[in-house]
Structure 1
Amino acid sequence: MSLLSHSLSRKRNNFDLVRLVAASAVVYAHSIIVQKPDGHIDFVTAWLGFDYSGSLGVFAFFLLSGLLVTASYERQRSPARYLILRAARIWPAVAVASLFAIFVMGPLLTNLPWRQYFASSATWANLDSFSTVTLGRRILLPGVFSDNPVPDAMFAPLWTLPVEVRYYVVVLVAGMLGLLKSPRGMVVALLIGLAPLLVRPYFAPHFHLAWRHLAPLAQGGYAFHPELVFLSGMLLYALREHVDINGWTATALCAVYLCMRGTPLAHALFYPAFAYGVLWIGTTPLLHRFAPRNDYSFGIYIYGFPVQQTVAHFWPALGHLVALLIATPFVVALAWLSWHGIEKPALDWTRARLARTRVRAQQAAADGMPEPAAR
């Protein structure tokens, strides 16, 4: 047996590889959207007849987040440490990306005079990266990408961050209530976790999509249910000692889906097969040699869209694959800089500070203990 619990250590899994593929899928999907239509459709949509590669990439991210963030809380056993580490993983990269957009991309790409660009309050509003991460405030720069096929959008994929942050809070609340320690408690945690899903459609900017959020996935539609995927990851963590991951089961689930493809059951069968496939790819030793040593996925996710928008700004009529080839080296370079220059240093510094704080607390506790009585 290959239990899921045995693969939660980073040295034993390929989850960074899964995240890298997921981020690349999102970038590929957006290559079709940001350019003028060239007659091509997403290959996942063409093959499945529903959903598309971008949403599957997002689902892979959320499945692993639900699993690994829950595991992180259990390891930390401290709400403060958990929140600090979650913030250190996301906020610094987004804050620097905001600065890069304001002071590098904006001046180079705006159709406004620099004086007008820097005098606009809309420019400086983008310094509020905290609201981008927690509330979904869009990063919009005056005169930038206003004539693109997808006008104005700078970091469109970041709409998922507030959704994920809300579920960090769900994990926090569930952990503080002691619900993460057993499958039975996890059921209560999952019920708590349904609340953000039910209220999200009624808050801007997604009110007009409410019927799609809560309705069954429509033919050709985008799922918009990453919350359910995160909760599935939480449930998998609760059942980690009982979930066996093996290639035969993954093959069988794929075969069942293929046999039922084109039937009303196709949707219901595809997503469990996809989730199990993600777990198999993330845990099989066969792919461990391909797992990257560094996690560039978040940087690719952040910078993919603005770089693609820049290509579309200069060459809107390019075919999406040519545009993707042009954008890729710049996206990879920015992701490399983000990881080595921002993300990893922020995480290392935060972990070191927390470790020192823990050691001092342990020393203080030891110093305050009464000495054992002499015999």
Structure 2
Amino acid sequence: MPSKNFDTLASAWSTTNGFGGLRLLLALAVVASHAFPLGFGEENLGNSLSRGQTDVGTLAVCGFFAISGLLITRSALQLSPGRFICHRALRILPGFWFALLVTAVGIAPLVAGAEELAKDKFWNHVHGPWEYISSNWTVGINQQGISGLLGSVPFAGVFNGSLWSLAYESLCYAGVAILAAVGVLRRARWIILLLTSFSFGALIMEAVTYPLLRAPTYALDRGNLDMPILGNLFAGHLLALSFMFALGALAELYRENLPMNTPVAVGCVVLFLVSVRCGCFSVVGLPAYAYLLLWVAMRAPAALRKIGRRSDYSYGIYIYAFPIQQLFSVADFTRWGFLPYFLLSAVSALAMAVASWHLIESPALRLKKVWSATSNFTREPEPRGTAVTGAKKVGSKNAIV
């Protein structure tokens, strides 16, 4: 048996892992990073330190995708494709739809009052609140503003800029569902390794076009993809996020072979820090970062392991913080400086997340059994073997199965 310091991911896995706590920290990191452009018109936190390669908000979103890649792949290995799709829809859509409604008829009217827009012009605008909901309900964000509001803030015209990543995550979910349905996840995991290698090669090709390999994590000049339902996706965003998601998926598929040891983690810390400052972050820093997230989740202290076991507020914080920060910016809460603005935004987003979880998200998740019982496509797959030994016992809600 391997020593405790040289466990594999499979042997280090515990139902009381630290993924829930990590996701909460990542959500708060997004709030902190967004506070600079939304409240003060400055660049995202950490962008200068990395010399334009990344920032705290980008790192947080990439971290979400790496964690999701592992947990979503684990879910797909446990469930039939039909049930997997049901579970993903119930986890994402009810909370997302409620956030659209709260933003359109709750937050936007407050902004309209602060910016002195007449009620009839607000409700009857060609791009008004109802159009905001109808244009965005499929997760693809096709309307960013509401009734021409938010003209008085540094980040003008956008009510919820955080929602953009949900389309990319939904596309990753769809890819996992297809790969599970055709048997790739169970019988041909090498295909995932090959696809990830192609993505890695594309990141290398991207990096060599920049001085000192300092390519931004999200390349903005590589065109876009017009996807059905999901809308317009930037190819540069998709490359980085799908790569991180694939790294998480590989970690799950090769969990018996992936070491979780301290020397590797220390090496990854060095690679991460050097690449952030010196260059080649997208090629070296992103894989190192993905490994560190998994290592921290496996080695997390007891206090961090307790977070998110019964209530997952990270999603709610992520989808509510941006419009709240915009509202507080309109109200000039920024006059007190960064820290009060950030704390007020974070606490308010957490309050909305708590309400969303208990009123919308958790009740929706309880519908999984009902939906599965009435579906004709929910026959569970045969066990994969040692690679998923104990997977059925993942009882914490942060397992998102």
Query: How many residues get paired?
Result: 344
Q: Aligned in 2, Cα 1:148/1:289: closer, same or farther, shift over 3 Å?
A: closer
- For residues 277 and 125 of structure 2, the distance between their equivalents in structure 1, rounded to whole angstroms, comes to 52
Aligned to 2:347: 329
CA contact (8 A) 2:34 2:44 kept: no
Question: Which deviations, in whole Å up to 9, do the C-alpha atoms of 1:33-84 show, x marking residues without a partner?
Answer: 112347xx655334433310000000110001111111111111x2211111
- For residues 288 and 200 of structure 1, the distance between their equivalents in structure 2, rounded to whole angstroms, comes to 44
For 1:34, the aligned partner's letter is: L
CA contact (8 A) 1:132 1:138 kept: no
Aligned to 1:243: 258
User: Within the alignment, does 1:156 sit opposite 2:161 as a pair?
Assistant: yes
CA contact (8 A) 1:7 1:13 kept: no
Give matches, 1:265-280, under 5 Å. 265=280, 268-280=283-295
Question: Of the candidates 312, 321, 342, which is equivalent to residue 304 of structure 1?
Answer: 321
CA contact (8 A) 2:39 2:334 kept: yes
Residue 230 of structure 1, CA deviation: 1.0
Structure (1 or 2) with the greater helix fraction: 1
Other structure's SS at 1:245 match? strand
User: Within the alignment, does 1:96 sit opposite 2:98 as a pair?
Assistant: yes
Aligned to 1:128: 134
Aligned to 1:341: 359
**Identical aligned pairs, as a percentage?**
27
Residue 295 of structure 1, CA deviation: 1.0
Unaligned runs of 5+ in 1: 215-222, 363-375
Question: Of the candidates 45, 61, 72, which is equivalent to residue 75 of structure 2?
Answer: 72
CA contact (8 A) 1:167 1:230 kept: yes
> TM-score, normalised on structure 2?
0.76
Q: Aligned in 2, Cα 1:117/1:8: closer, same or farther, shift over 3 Å?
A: farther
User: Within the alignment, does 1:253 sit opposite 2:255 as a pair?
Assistant: no
Aligned to 2:63: 60
Give matches, 1:1-375, under 5 Å. 1-6=6-11, 11-37=15-41, 42-49=44-51, 50-76=53-79, 78-110=80-112, 111-122=116-127, 123-128=129-134, 131-133=137-139, 135-181=140-186, 182-187=188-193, 190=196, 201-203=224-226, 213=236, 225-258=240-273, 262-265=277-280, 268-287=283-302, 289-292=304-307, 293=309, 294-315=311-332, 318=335, 319-348=337-366, 350-354=367-371, 356-357=373-374
- For residues 171 and 279 of structure 1, the distance between their equivalents in structure 2, rounded to whole angstroms, comes to 20
Other structure's SS at 1:147 match? coil
- For residues 143 and 266 of structure 1, the distance between their equivalents in structure 2, rounded to whole angstroms, comes to 38
Q: Aligned in 2, Cα 1:142/1:337: closer, same or farther, shift over 3 Å?
A: same
> TM-score, normalised on structure 1?
0.81
Question: Which deviations, in whole Å up to 9, do the C-alpha atoms of 1:270-301 show, x marking residues without a partner?
Answer: 22221111111111143555531321100000
- For residues 239 and 247 of structure 1, the distance between their equivalents in structure 2, rounded to whole angstroms, comes to 19
For 2:110, the aligned partner's letter is: L
- For residues 343 and 88 of structure 2, the distance between their equivalents in structure 1, rounded to whole angstroms, comes to 33
CA contact (8 A) 1:88 1:346 kept: yes
Residue 192 of structure 1, CA deviation: 9.8
Q: Aligned in 2, Cα 1:190/1:263: closer, same or farther, shift over 3 Å?
A: closer
CA contact (8 A) 2:66 2:245 kept: yes
Aligned to 2:215: none
For 1:201, the aligned partner's letter is: N
Residue 234 of structure 1, CA deviation: 1.6
- For residues 172 and 276 of structure 2, the distance between their equivalents in structure 1, rounded to whole angstroms, comes to 32
- For residues 278 and 132 of structure 2, the distance between their equivalents in structure 1, rounded to whole angstroms, comes to 47
Larger radius of gyration: 1
For 1:36, the aligned partner's letter is: F
For 2:105, the aligned partner's letter is: F
- For residues 25 and 269 of structure 1, the distance between their equivalents in structure 2, rounded to whole angstroms, comes to 22
CA contact (8 A) 2:21 2:306 kept: yes
Q: Aligned in 2, Cα 1:47/1:315: closer, same or farther, shift over 3 Å?
A: same
Residue 30 of structure 1, CA deviation: 0.3
CA contact (8 A) 2:136 2:143 kept: no
Other structure's SS at 2:152 match? coil
Other structure's SS at 1:171 match? helix
For 1:347, the aligned partner's letter is: L
Unaligned runs of 5+ in 2: 1-5, 203-217, 380-401
